[in-house]
Every structure is written in C-alpha cells, then in structure tokens.
Amino acid sequence: MHIAICDDDQRERETITQYVLGYKDKYPKIHYQVSVFSSGEELLAVYRDGTKFDILFLDIQMKDIDGIQAAQEIRETNKHAIIFFITGFTQYISAAFTLNAFQFIVKPVNRDIFYREFHRAMNKHFVERKKYVIESDSKTIVQEIKDVFYLESLDHYVFVHTEQNKYMKRGKLNDEEKALVPYGFIRTHHKYLVNMSFISEITHDHVVLTNGNRLNLSTRKRPEVMSCFNNYLAGISLCSY
C-alpha cells in the first residue's frame, strides 16, 4: 500500500505524517509506504511518472496546483484511490465531494478524528481487495467481496448475487455469515445475508438495495440490523487485522 501526503504547510504536513506512521504502532501487521509532498506539482510529477497511490491526504489550498486540481487529474486514471481533503475552509466541501472524496478533515487536524477516519479508510482498502471464492459443481469462481450484493439460502445451496450474475454453491448460510460479517455483511432474514454497502433503505419488513431488490427483514432481526447499519454508516467497522 502506498500513501501520499500533500500539504504546503510544513507543520500540518508533519502532523499528518506523524499520525499516519503512528497508526503502525496499533496495527504492526499492516505494511505501507508513505510519500510526503509540499506541493501539488511535486505530487503530480511523481504520479505522472507512474507511481500509484492507494490513499491520499490532499490540502485543498495550495499555490498553483491545489488539492482539488491534483485530485481531478488523479481521478482520470485512478477511480479507486481513497482521497482525504484537508483544509481550514469548509466552503470547499461540495467541490471536494464531487471528486468522490472519502472524507473531509478540517484543520487543525484532531488526532482522534484522524485515527477514526484513517481506520475506516484502511478497512475500505482491504475490503475492496478481499476475494470471495465460489466453489460450484463444475468450476471455481473468484469474486471480489465488495461486488457481492447478497447471499440467498435455498435448500442445501447458497446463491451469490452480484450486479450481473448469480452463482450457486453448495453450503450453509450460517457458514458464509461467519466468514463475511467482518466485511460488512448482515443477516436480515434466515434466507438472506446482505452487503450493507448496497443497502439504500430499511423499511419495517424489508431492506431495499441500490439495484432495487427488496429482501425480507425479519421482525426478530430488525433491531440488530438497524444497530449494525447505523454503526456501518458511522464508520464503526467490524473488520480486524
């Protein structure tokens, strides 16, 4: 993993670098490289030379090429980079989020807020790269967990639903639940295990997905689903490293 920090304010640059490096003390199994830049020009020069970044911390207000302009160019070739915008001026929030920013952090950067959001970004990074193996009767399919909408239990089979396909594997939903809950899945019904990133609405007796599918929500599970989903939206992740 490669992390970029770009800020023309030396003090802020050093603070963010200290926080990022300090995260390793809590999670020593995580390995990442940190590159620090004092201008948008320096960052883009390295990026244009072929260096790719997984997570970027960009100061919005910098001379010449600012954080917004740098992010615009990076987004042209990297749709999946996790971008933090950092600034002391909240009027830039709307412009930042048009670039699919992960989060907006206001200066001076609070350590507790930083670690909470950085941890959430780390979880997102690892979840998006986690593979899910589907062993069917005739072949093995490797699917990214982030692309699985939900799993459905029927008789002695589990059906794995993605946006474009439905795969069938022999097994029990209970076993799939144990494996997938740390990656943002929640059991909404004895038949369904749902990826919370695709939930758009929760009604009294259904969860509605972003593709329009309506899945049953049992009365017994509704309090747990609501609690877990609220935690998910707040960035309280169940992932562990």
Q: What is the mean pLDDT of residues 115-138?
A: 84
Helix (H, G, I), strand (E, B) or coil at 133: strand
CA distances to 76, 161, 192, 226 from 168, rounded to whole Å, are 36, 9, 14, 29
pTM of the model: 0.62
pLDDT at 92: 58
90, part of any domain: yes
Cβ-proximal residues to 99 (8 Å cutoff; 6+ apart), any chain: 68, 71, 72, 75, 83
pLDDT at 208: 96
Domain stops at, among 128, 156, 185: 128
Q: Quote the number of domains for the chain.
A: 2
239, part of any domain: no
Q: Is the domain of 121 the same as that of 140? A: no
Q: Is the domain of 226 the same as that of 157? A: yes
pLDDT digits (tens, 9 = 90+) for 100-109: 678 888 888 9
Q: Is the domain of 121 the same as that of 10? A: yes
Q: Is the domain of 150 the same as that of 91? A: no
Spatial separation of the C-alpha atoms in residues 216 and 207, rounded to whole Å = 7
Domain stops at, among 102, 128, 154: 128
The CATH number for 85's domain is 3.40.50.2300
184, part of any domain: yes
Q: Is the domain of 43 the same as that of 120? A: yes
110, part of any domain: yes
- From first CA to last CA, the distance across the chain in angstroms is 15
- Report which of residues 188 and 28 the model is more confident about: 188
Which range, 42-56, 102-116, 176-190, is most confident?
42-56
pLDDT at 19: 96
In terms of residue numbers, what domain contains 68?
A: 2-128
pLDDT digits (tens, 9 = 90+) for 1-46: 999 999 999 999 999 999 999 998 888 888 899 999 999 999 999 9
Q: Is the domain of 7 the same as that of 113? A: yes
Spatial separation of the C-alpha atoms in residues 81 and 147, rounded to whole Å = 17
241, part of any domain: no
Q: Is the domain of 73 the same as that of 104? A: yes
The CATH number for 203's domain is 2.40.50.1020
Domain stops at, among 100, 128, 156: 128
86, part of any domain: yes
Residues 161, 185 contacting (CB under 8 angstroms): no
